[in-house]
Structure 1
Amino acid sequence: MARRPASAVRDERPGPAEFTDPRLRHEVQRAAVWLGMALLIVGVVVLAQPLLLIIGGLVFSVILDGGARLLGRVLPIRRGFRLALVVLAGLAFVGWVFYYAGTTLAAQAEALRAVVTEQANRLMGMATEFGLVPEGTRANLTSQVLGGVGRLTTAVSSALGAVTSMLAIFVIGIFIAMEPRLYDRGVAWMLPVRHRDGFYAISDRVGFTLRRLMFGRLVGMVVEGLFTFAMLWVGGVPMAALLGLITGLLAFLPNIGAIISGVLMVAVGFSAGTSEGVWAIFVYFFVQNLDGYVIIPYIARKTVDLAPALVLAAQLLFGALFGILGLLLADPIVAAIKVALEQISGSGEAKRRAGEAAAKT
């Protein structure tokens, strides 16, 4: 290929892709930032499902990592073996729940659906008698409520999608829990060098907070499930084991889970009689007060204090935008964001004070 003469090089003029005006270059950079933010928002909306699966995997890895650390206090063995023990114990528990639910609670689950439907019809009848619901709209309202429950049941019972999502979260969580520092370094590598120490500090603090939060949540699930089962069984409320299991599982969802389990508990209690219904109401308030005044404040002191209204608003927003996964992950996401913002503001305040001290000296 022939070389161009030097005079031709000197005669080159800027093309339309070159911005020599500093003001124009600044405006182009600003436009690029706004365009990048818009594309990021669109990407988050379009890729919401896989992003939530990744976040779910991160939360699950935090649970596994916390279990391995806790086990390390009593078993001085390598981290890989401790992590394997935690995974096997978790799989054994899930297998037992499915086996127990499949063999013992299947008939109770069908009976629970019938009881809830019957109690809903009775409640609508009472509302109609007192004039709270017009006679003509009673059937409409009942069908809408039961239709909504039916749609929810259909969505939850979508076995293939649920199993695929859980498997993805499980695999991602195990890989991250095996080498958490590897992924920390990978994310930090994409940041400027001056910001990497701050990222590591935020990552450590968020991980510590989420480990405590998830451990407290699991303790709350166990306590609520066992107390509910024992007290309902003592009070002679039917389906005590199923209600205890449902209450324990729904305890992972603050606020909303308690409301759902309470409605089910009271409906089943009144289906057996007035005394059983009143006892179910007492059990519900006792368990929720135990959780609200003992377990949750203790967790908040050890982790991060989240306002109940903030958590509920985040659950409603994430649930509406992203479905059941958003509802499940709203609490840890809000906690992680709050801790990260506190860490960033704290480091900024520390730098400001250090600068003021240096200026005075």
Structure 2
Amino acid sequence: MTEPDRPPPPTPRRSGGGGLRVGPWLLLLLALALAWVLVDVLMLVFAALLFALILRAMALPLERRAGLSPRLSLPLVLVALVLVVGGAIGVAGAGAVEQMQALRETLPRAWTAFQRWLADYTTGRWLQELWHSAKPFEDWSRLAGLATGTINAATGAIGAAVLLVVLGIYLAADPGTYRDGLLKLVPRSRRELVARTLDAAGRDLSRWLLGQGVSMLLVGALTGIGLALIGMPLLLSLSLIAGLLEFVPYFGPIISGVLIVGVALAEGEGLALQALVVCVAVQQAEGYVVQPLVQRWAVRLPPVLGMCSVLVFGVLFGLPGVLLAMPLMVLTMTLVSELYVKTVIEPQR
């Protein structure tokens, strides 16, 4: 008697199928972990990319109007930048150095004048008592350590700035090579989408950088004009600081305003009040005149997102995150628009 036919045993599932499903997510997690470890390097590369976009934006008119090749237009831009910076240093360099030195000597007097001003008010005296009770510099070894750390940080910042410039020049010299290399890491079915996203990100960041550069230049110029009208000392250095700090949204103008008013307070309360009026007037002009004009052709970032970007990226990445908060938010908005809104949300409508 023959045995009935038995059904064939189930074919065991190969682990390769599960590995194919888990593999991409595992690679993504590993990439995120590696990015977190190398966050300082990535921030430096991002800053170099912004510098490369500035160089490309300056070289592009030479290529379009003069018909120059990228290999020739970029060296001309670099030579022009060196001449402009060298000329500015030659014209105002000695005065700027002297004013920076005078500013460093003035700050202790400004702090003393500020303390005397606080002592005239009840709330001010309470703040002074709170400050002295904290005793932030009672341990002089901590103060020495802070000074040493500041010197080391400044030295590291100089080295990072040099590396940033070198990386930016290489990226601007041949952007197509790096773009094509990045696209080769993407599956063929997604290359068109990623290429479009990269182009949109470069366009939006370039427009934001151009608008921010115009805002910084105008804020520095308006601050210098206003301070000159009231007879403010250290005019050049304070105007330069105000223009540079305009790059940091919301908090930068506050810091520059406090510095200007503090320096003016060392000369007298009347000058401090006039300096406060100048700072407020410049910020009002920047908010209601400069920004509306710039935002006609530059990227407009909602105020809430701008402020949140400084807080979020500052917590995540420290001081580099604060300095690069706005371009990081511009990049984030572009990625969300191209990779999610246009590819997921809009096709469903």
Distance 1:33 1:188 in 2: 17
Distance 2:343 2:151 in 1: 43
Answer yes or no: is the 8 Å Cα contact 1:56–1:169 preserved in 2. Answer: yes
- 1:233-312 aligned at under 5 Å gives the runs 233-312=228-307
Match of residue 50 from structure 2: 59
TM-score, length of structure 2 as denominator length: 0.82
Match of residue 78 from structure 2: 87
Cα pair distance change 1:188/1:130, threshold 3 Å: closer
Match of residue 10 from structure 1: none
Distance 1:114 1:93 in 2: 34
Match of residue 200 from structure 1: 195
Answer yes or no: is the 8 Å Cα contact 1:220–1:251 preserved in 2. Answer: yes
Answer yes or no: is the 8 Å Cα contact 1:221–1:248 preserved in 2. Answer: yes
Question: Aligned partner of 2:103: which letter?
Answer: A
Secondary structure at the aligned position of 2:314 is classed as helix
- 1:94-109 aligned at under 5 Å gives the runs 94-95=85-86, 96-97=88-89, 99-100=93-94, 103-109=97-103
Match of residue 209 from structure 1: 204
Cα pair distance change 1:342/1:154, threshold 3 Å: same
Cα pair distance change 1:37/1:77, threshold 3 Å: closer
TM-score, length of structure 1 as denominator length: 0.80
Secondary structure at the aligned position of 2:266 is classed as helix
CA drift of 1:29 comes to 5.1
Cα pair distance change 1:343/1:299, threshold 3 Å: farther
**Which among 167, 172, 188 is matched to residue 162 of structure 2?**
167
Say whether 1:189 aligns with 2:181. Answer: no
Deviations 1:29-76 (A, max 9, x none): 555455434433321221111111111111111111111124556644
Answer yes or no: is the 8 Å Cα contact 1:124–1:142 preserved in 2. Answer: no
Q: Give RMSD over aligned pairs.
A: 3.2
Say whether 1:326 aligns with 2:321. Answer: yes
Question: Aligned partner of 2:195: which letter?
Answer: Y
Question: Aligned partner of 1:303: which letter?
Answer: A
How many residue pairs are counted as aligned between the two chains?
A: 332
Match of residue 43 from structure 1: 34
Distance 2:58 2:296 in 1: 20
Distance 1:236 1:153 in 2: 37
Cα pair distance change 1:151/1:294, threshold 3 Å: farther
Distance 1:227 1:142 in 2: 39
| Identity between Structure 1 and Structure 2 (%) | 28
Distance 1:183 1:274 in 2: 56
Say whether 1:111 aligns with 2:80. Answer: no
More displaced, 331-340 or 293-302? 293-302
Cα pair distance change 1:152/1:190, threshold 3 Å: farther
Cα pair distance change 1:92/1:253, threshold 3 Å: farther
Distance 1:41 1:286 in 2: 45
Deviations 1:319-358 (A, max 9, x none): 23323222221111110110122123224456556xxxxx
Distance 1:285 1:201 in 2: 42
Answer yes or no: is the 8 Å Cα contact 2:265–2:271 preserved in 1. Answer: yes
Say whether 1:346 aligns with 2:342. Answer: yes
Deviations 1:260-283 (A, max 9, x none): 101111112222223321221121
Cα pair distance change 1:82/1:214, threshold 3 Å: same
Distance 1:202 1:175 in 2: 22
Secondary structure at the aligned position of 1:318 is classed as helix
Answer yes or no: is the 8 Å Cα contact 2:100–2:237 preserved in 1. Answer: no
Match of residue 21 from structure 1: 13
Gaps of 5+ in 1: 1-18, 354-361
Cα pair distance change 1:263/1:151, threshold 3 Å: farther
Distance 2:109 2:148 in 1: 16
Secondary structure at the aligned position of 1:302 is classed as coil
Distance 1:327 1:39 in 2: 26
Question: Aligned partner of 1:133: which letter?
Answer: L
Cα pair distance change 1:72/1:216, threshold 3 Å: farther
Cα pair distance change 1:49/1:244, threshold 3 Å: same
Cα pair distance change 1:33/1:143, threshold 3 Å: same
CA drift of 1:305 comes to 2.4
Deviations 1:290-332 (A, max 9, x none): 2212232333342332122222222223223323222221111
CA drift of 1:120 comes to 4.5
Answer yes or no: is the 8 Å Cα contact 2:106–2:263 preserved in 1. Answer: yes
Say whether 1:77 aligns with 2:68. Answer: yes
